[in-house]
Each structure stands twice: as structure tokens, then as C-alpha cells.
């Protein structure tokens, strides 16, 4: 049965008072006492002393029960009335109706207990947003004594039902603390389900149904909550948000490996267009889906983060598919080991050669478009060609300097090669010309117009600055706290378009593996090597330097007349020694390369080169400005902040938010070793801060 609320508690100013409590129990007790006295008197008159004693005892018991029940009912009515008085200003009512608050099924306790179910009918003028229900549940928790959550919410009928939340699954202190922390963040009205690992005695997952609504629609708000959970509960946590269902699931992050060898899989029609890039923290592979997520791939990362390793892996995987691969290497030495790799037709290092290779790729694309237009071919008739252009900023600088020296009057101000690259990014899909672009940061200065938007497949290595993260992932919070001490650790995008932390697959550099005589890397390379060189090696043949009349032609015109021809058919040097020459003077090629069958790769032996170990410990402050004092209210996401002066502990800032009072800051940080936490300080408090180099200063 439902009980209607009533109590003599004064309502806030402007609201009608709550009806008084009904105190019927004294009258009932008097009636029971009178009836017992009459029964005792009648027994005495008739001489039945035993019956008189029984009647007296029964009368006392009944009166006692009536008094106790009446007082308990009064306490319950007062409890509900206090709740009604507290909640009335939020219900859009000028005065409470008899059925404004109804309660049912009281939990038994010595002080009267608390209702299990609370039904509320509110006025149509109430601002019944989603977080409004949380406020009502919080008031019920404070006033009624139970811990309430929203059971149902009917906005059309203006009804809200609260129900006592189930007890935590265990009385373990870890579980109780986790429940307390989560409710402190999401409110008492949230529904919380904790999953406990009995063996480890720790919470491993938390499922929450909340009523925060639009408050978590912004990425920075969700990041702040995730950082708070990680800071207040043991371990590193990740979140799976469902904004349409107002739910979130937190899970302990598994430990990611620091080296994952690229084990070649059998090529099938199902994986032909899926190039493995790395694995996420669950061990799921991250792919470049050339036919799905995008025909072109951009790899972003500073020097030493593993960008070249990732591109090396892409080159070897595409070469394994018997596709033609053309490489432009502005740094000249990054891809030396691929010069003799089967199906890698050319590795261009000279500026002129690189421009000629890009020109050839553009012309091939235009030729294929012409064949499609003429009806002599279909898109599926063409074999993929993969054009790799590494260090695009460096390439841009070198080409600009070279073009300034060859440009004559009447030629375009900007070198047309940049337009060719943009055209391949825009039109390459139908021509089956795929672009792999490597750059330290995708600045609009170099990737102009819509060029960057054509790279739906993206991979960033190392820690990004907030500006770089915004350009790469359209969010200043993604990838800014990747540990810098782990080579190959970065940020990728899954096939369901979820951006996640990942570890790039380890792919050895053939030149370094041969130089170091690394048996495990050489064995892995042998398994990655294509069984046959379907496409012959090429080199650039520039056009004639004189016209038919004997006049001198400029270098730019020679580039426009250039061709890619089989190696050895021109008089120009090949551009570097073959891989076999690197082994001269040693004991010979490694047996695994010359005669042995491809061996199974031991994960523990793979990656013993610079990719994993590096040249030494990374300088924590590399890439950051000298330390300076900055007020907490002016720190920026991506700054390196001194979070503990006593132990000189520096960490990167992941989020910075004002609290509800707007007079203090909550700073969420994460260190290179994965440790995370929060600092809650006054916004005028001075911190030691290092800014990322090259980023705009807002101080």
C-alpha cells in the first residue's frame, strides 16, 4: 500500500505549507486501554480471576503495540514530509497535492526504516531535464535515509519513481570504496553495478547508468570523468560510453606489450586490402583498410617515435601482395634497406628523382582515368600502385629550394608537384594509386585545402601536442599523453572508427638487421620477403637536355619529359649500394637468409634494435621549453607540469577544468609510466610548467 505524505514542516518561502501529520494513535491506544479495563472488570465481577489476569496482560500488550505502531507511523510521516518539503521547490508546484509523494514497502529498522519505493507526481512547469532526476534522487537519499536510484521516468505523465539501490555485491572494502567513488562522481541517482575478481580481490569493471545527459556530450567532460576514475581507483581505466542510452562501462586497461613482431599472414581475398598496422590494448589488430576506411594513409610522428618502422611494415606488406611500390625518401637513408626488396621498384632520394616519381604516379593515375572514361578499362582492372612519400615537411622544404633555382619566367610560383600530390590524394582511389604520407605533423601550411581530409586512415606515433591532436584526430585530448618512453606506441583508429592507443607492429629494417647480424630480425625478414620479384627495379630517366634545334632545356622540362625505366638502362648512378654489398667484409650472409627455412620468430628476441631499446633513455624534457611559473588558470592541455615538487615528478596535462565554484582548477595528468592523477588547486596557484616547443603561447 502507498502512504500519502503529510507533515507540519514549513515549506520554503513562496510555497504553501505541507499538511500536518495525522496523529490518530493516542485515540486508538485509549480505546484499547478502555476495552482492556472493561474486560478485566467484567472478569472480576464474575469471579474469573484467571481470565481477568489474561485480559489485563493482553490489554497491556495491545496498547503497547498500538503506541509503538502509531509512533513509528508518525516518524515515517514526518520523514516523508521532510522529503516533500525539501523536494517541493523542484517539482513545479505551488502547493502539494495528496498524491504528490507516495511511498511503499518500508525497509524495517528501529527508527522507522525508509521506504523502498517512492513515487512522485510533479507539475508540468518543472524543468525535468535528465540531470533533474539525479537531484531528486540525491534529495531522497539525504532525507529518507536509503540510497535511491531512478527506477522509471515518465515525462509525458509527469511521474518519477525512485527505488532503493541494491546493496553492493560484496562487503569488501575495495568494492565499497569503488561504489562510493563512482556515486560521488555520477550522483546517488546513478545505477552502479560492480564486477569483482575474487582471485585478485579487485574491481575489474563498473557498469553505470547515469542521468548526466548533455553534461557528458563534450569530449573534455568525459575525459575529466575518466581521469578522475583512474586517479581515485587503483589501475588505469578506460571507458565505453553510450551517449544515446546514458550508460558507461569502465574496465581496467590490460597491460600493452612494448614489442609485437609482424608475423606475416597468408594472403587471401578477405585480407588482400587490409594492411596490418598494429594492435590495441585488447590484442585486436588495427588495419589500414584500403577499400574501407580510406585509400590513403597518413603516418604522423616525431623523429624516433617509430614512424619509419610503421611505413617499412606497410611497404613490405604491400610488396608481399605483389603490388608495385614507389618510395620517396627525402632523408636519403631511411629506406636504404628496401632498395633491393622485391616489388619495391624504386627508392628515390634525389630531389629531382622524387619529383619525377610523383609525376609518373600522377600521370599513371590520369592515364587510368582516361581508360575508364573511354570504356576500355574498369577500376577493378588496375593493379594497385603504392606511392610512399616520407617526411613531407622536409620534402616540401627541399623541393621549394630546388624549384626556386630552376623556375624561369612564366612558370607557376609554387612547384606543381604539390598539386600532383593533392590530386593523387583526391582521385587516387579510382585509379588504384594509393598514397602513404609520412610527416611529423599535418600542418595546414604544407597540407593545404582539402588534402588532409582525404586521409581517413590515420596513425600517429608518440605523444602529440594539443594542436597536433586537433589536426590529426579533431580533438585536443586524443594522443597527448601517450608514453614517450615506449617506441612504437601511438594512436590509431579501429574499423568501427574508435580512436585508441595502440602498439605498432615491429618490422625490422633490412639494412640494420644485416649490419647487426640480428638472427631473429633476419628470420622475420625472410618470412616477409615476397617469393618472387614480379615487378623489376626502376630508375628515373630524365628527358633530353636539348631540344630538336639544339637549344638547352631546363631541368624542370627534363623532369616533365622523364620516364621510369628498368635499372641499368641509363647512365646515371643507381643511387646507393645494394643490400648484398652491406654484408661484404663479414662472415657472409646470415644462414637464415641464404639457406635456412623460415624459422618461427621468438617474440622475446624480436626488436632488439633501436626501435625498442633506443639510443638511450629519452630526455623527459625533449621537445619542451624551459620551466617557468604559470598560474593554474592559464595552463594548457599538453603542458608538462611539475605535479610533485618533493620528488621532482613531471607529468603531461590531459585536462584542465574549473570546478562548480569557478574558483579552483581540477588538473588531470598522466606520466610516462602510465600513472595518472588529479590536482585540485586554486586557479591563482602558481605551477612549474614546460610548454611544447613550437606551440602558440597564450600567456
Give dist(CA 275, CA 528) in Å, integer: 13
| Residue 533, domain member (yes or no) | yes
pLDDT in tens, 22-39: 555 465 556 666 666 666
460-472 mean pLDDT: 84
Residue 432 has pLDDT above 90, yes or no: yes
Q: Which of 15-19, 48-52, 82-86 comes out lowest in average pLDDT?
A: 15-19
For residues 311 and 495, the model is more confident at 311
Give dist(CA 309, CA 489) in Å, integer: 11
The pLDDT score that the predictor gives to residue 309 is: 92
For residue 19, give its domain range.
3-112+133-142
Residue 634 has pLDDT above 70, yes or no: yes
DSSP 527-589: HHS-SS--S--EEEEPPPSB-TTSPBPPHHHHHHT-EEEETTSSSS--SS--HHHHTTTSS-S
pLDDT category of residue 317 using cuts at 50, 70 and 90: very high
Residue 1 has pLDDT above 50, yes or no: no
Residue 481 has pLDDT above 50, yes or no: yes
Q: Tell me which of 252, 270, 294 is where a domain ends.
A: 252
| Residue 154, domain member (yes or no) | no
Q: Tell me which of 554, 579, 613 is where a domain ends.
A: 613
Q: Tell me which of 194, 224, 252 is where a domain ends.
A: 252
Are 33 and 73 found together in one domain?
yes
pLDDT in tens, 538-561: 999 988 877 766 667 788 888 888
Are 248 and 276 found together in one domain?
no
The pLDDT score that the predictor gives to residue 583 is: 32
Give dist(CA 633, CA 658) in Å, integer: 8
Residue with cell 545505477: 191
Are 526 and 608 found together in one domain?
yes
Are 278 and 329 found together in one domain?
yes
pLDDT category of residue 506 using cuts at 50, 70 and 90: very high
Are 609 and 635 found together in one domain?
no
Q: What are phi and psi of 259, to 5 degrees?
A: -150, 125
Give dist(CA 123, CA 15) in Å, integer: 13
| Residue 163, domain member (yes or no) | no
Are 539 and 635 found together in one domain?
no
What is the pTM (predicted TM-score) of this model?
0.64
pLDDT in tens, 95-143: 888 888 888 888 766 556 788 888 988 888 888 876 788 888 888 888 8
- How does the average pLDDT of the chain come out, rounded? 78
| Residue 376, domain member (yes or no) | yes
Are 574 and 658 found together in one domain?
no
Question: Could you tell me which of 246, 188, 191, 186 has the C-alpha nearest to residue 213?
Answer: 246
| Residue 128, domain member (yes or no) | no
| Residue 164, domain member (yes or no) | no
The pLDDT score that the predictor gives to residue 570 is: 66
Walk across the sheet containing 191-197 and list its strands.
Answer: 191-197, 202-209, 247-252, 237-242
Overall domain count for the chain: 4
The pLDDT score that the predictor gives to residue 211 is: 83
pLDDT in tens, 371-414: 999 988 888 899 999 999 999 888 999 999 999 888 888 888 88
- The count of other CB atoms within 10 Å of the CB of residue 655 is 25
Are 365 and 448 found together in one domain?
yes
Q: Which of 35-39, 73-77, 320-324 comes out lowest in average pLDDT?
A: 35-39
- CATH value at residue 217: 3.30.70
Are 525 and 401 found together in one domain?
yes
Give dist(CA 462, CA 476) in Å, integer: 15
Are 312 and 376 found together in one domain?
yes
Q: Show contacts of 401-404: CB within 8 Å, 24+ apart.
A: 402/351, 402/352, 402/355, 403/556
Are 558 and 665 found together in one domain?
no
Are 404 and 383 found together in one domain?
yes
Amino acid at each position: 500500500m502507498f502512504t500519502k505524505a503529510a507533515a507540519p514542516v514549513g515549506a520554503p518561502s513562496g510555497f504553501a505549507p505541507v499538511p500536518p501529520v495525522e496523529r490518530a494513535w493516542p485515540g486508538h491506544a485509549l480505546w484499547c486501554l478502555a476495552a482492556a479495563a472493561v474486560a478485566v472488570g467484567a472478569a472480576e465481577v464474575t469471579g474469573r480471576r484467571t481470565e481477568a489476569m489474561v485480559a489485563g496482560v493482553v490489554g497491556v500488550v495491545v496498547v503497547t503495540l498500538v503506541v509503538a505502531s502509531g509512533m513509528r507511523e508518525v516518524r515515517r510521516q514526518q520523514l516523508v514530509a521532510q522529503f516533500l518539503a525539501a523536494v517541493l521547490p523542484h517539482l513545479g508546484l505551488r502547493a502539494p497535492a495528496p498524491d504528490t509523494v507516495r511511498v511503499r514497502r518500508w525497509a524495517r529498522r528501529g527508527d522507522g526504516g525508509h521506504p523502498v519505493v517512492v513515487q512522485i507526481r510533479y507539475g508540468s512547469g518543472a524543468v525535468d531535464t535528465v540531470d533533474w532526476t539525479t537531484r531528486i534522487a540525491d534529495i531522497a537519499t539525504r532525507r529518507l535515509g536509503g540510497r535511491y536510484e531512478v527506477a522509471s521516468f515518465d515525462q509525458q505523465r509527469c511521474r518519477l519513481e525512485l527505488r532503493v539501490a541494491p546493496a553492493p555485491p560484496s562487503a569488501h572494502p575495495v568494492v565499497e570504496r569503488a561504489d562510493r567513488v563512482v556515486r560521488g562522481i555520477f550522483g546517488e541517482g546513478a545505477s552502479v553495478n560492480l564486477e569483482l575478481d575474487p582471485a585478485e580481490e579487485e574491481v575489474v569493471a563498473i557498469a553505470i547508468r547515469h542521468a548526466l545527459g548533455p553534461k557528458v556530450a563534450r569530449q573534455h567532460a568525459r575525459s575529466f570523468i575518466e581521469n578522475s576514475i583512474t586517479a581515485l581507483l587503483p589501475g588505469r581505466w578506460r571507458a565505453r560510453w553510450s551517449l544515446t542510452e546514458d550508460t558507461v562501462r569502465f574496465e581496467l586497461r590490460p597491460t600493452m606489450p612494448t614489442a609485437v613482431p609482424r608475423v606475416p599472414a597468408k594472403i587471401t581475398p578477405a585480407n588482400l586490402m587490409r594492411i596490418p598496422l598494429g594492435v590495441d590494448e585488447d590484442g585486436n589488430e588495427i588495419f589500414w583498410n584500403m577499400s574501407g576506411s580510406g585509400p590513403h594513409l597518413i603516418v604522423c610522428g616525431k623523429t624516433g617515435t617509430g614512424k619509419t618502422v610503421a611505413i617499412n611494415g606497410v611497404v613490405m606488406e604491400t610488396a608481399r601482395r605483389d603490388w608495385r611500390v614507389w618510395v620517396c625518401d627525402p632523408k636519403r637513408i631511411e629506406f636504404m634497406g628496401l632498395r633491393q626488396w622485391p616489388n619495391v621498384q624504386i627508392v628515390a632520394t634525389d630531389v629531382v628523382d622524387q619529383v619525377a616519381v610523383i609525376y609518373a604516379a600522377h600521370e599513371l593515375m590520369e592515364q587510368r582515368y582516361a581508360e575508364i572514361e573511354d570504356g576500355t578499362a574498369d577500376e577493378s582492372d588496375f593493379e594497385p600502385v603504392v606511392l610512399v612519400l616520407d617526411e613531407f615537411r622536409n620534402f616540401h622544404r627541399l623541393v621549394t629550394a630546388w624549384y626556386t633555382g630552376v623556375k624561369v619566367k612564366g612558370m607557376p610560383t609554387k612547384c606543381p608537384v604539390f598539386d600532383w600530390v593533392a590530386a593523387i590524394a583526391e582521385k587516387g582511389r579510382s585509379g588504384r594509386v594509393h598514397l602513404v604520407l609520412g610527416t611529423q605533423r599535418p600542418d595546414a601550411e604544407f597540407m593545404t585545402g582539402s588534402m588532409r581530409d582525404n586521409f581517413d586512415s590515420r596513425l600517429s606515433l608518440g605523444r602529440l601536442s594539443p594542436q597536433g591532436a586537433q589536426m590529426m584526430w579533431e580533438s585536443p585530448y586524443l594522443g597527448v599523453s601517450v608514453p614517450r618512453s615506449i617506441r612504437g606506441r601511438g594512436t590509431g583508429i579501429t574499423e568501427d572508427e574508435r580512436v585508441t592507443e595502440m602498439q605498432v607492429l615491429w618490422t625490422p629494417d633490412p639494412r640494420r638487421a644485416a649490419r647487426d647480424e640480428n638472427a631473429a630480425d633476419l628470420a622475420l625478414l625472410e618470412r616477409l620477403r615476397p617469393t618472387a620479384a614480379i615487378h623489376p627495379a626502376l630508375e628515373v630517366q630524365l628527358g633530353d637536355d636539348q631540344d630538336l634545334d639544339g637549344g638547352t632545356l631546363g631541368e624542370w622540362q627534363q623532369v616533365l619529359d622523364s620516364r621510369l625505366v628498368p635499372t641499368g638502362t641509363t647512365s646515371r648512378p643507381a643511387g646507393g649500394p645494394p643490400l648484398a654489398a652491406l654484408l661484404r667484409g663479414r662472415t657472409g650472409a646470415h644462414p637464415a637468409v641464404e639457406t635456412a627455412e623460415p624459422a618461427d620468430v621468438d617474440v622475446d628476441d624480436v626488436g632488439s634494435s633501436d626501435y625498442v631499446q633506443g639510443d638511450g633513455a629519452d630526455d623527459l624534457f625533449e621537445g619542451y621549453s624551459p620551466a617557468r611559473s604559470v598560474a593554474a588558470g592559464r595552463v594548457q592541455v599538453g603542458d608538462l607540469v611539475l605535479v610533485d615538487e618533493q620528488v621532482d615528478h613531471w607529468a603531461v596535462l590531459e585536462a584542465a577544468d574549473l570546478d562548480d565554484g569557478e574558483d579552483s582548477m581540477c588538473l588531470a595528468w598522466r606520466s610516462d609510466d602510465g600513472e595518472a592523477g588529479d590536482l585540485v588547486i586554486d586557479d591563482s596557484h602558481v605551477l612549474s610548467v614546460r610548454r611544447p616547443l613550437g606551440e602558440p603561447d597564450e600567456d
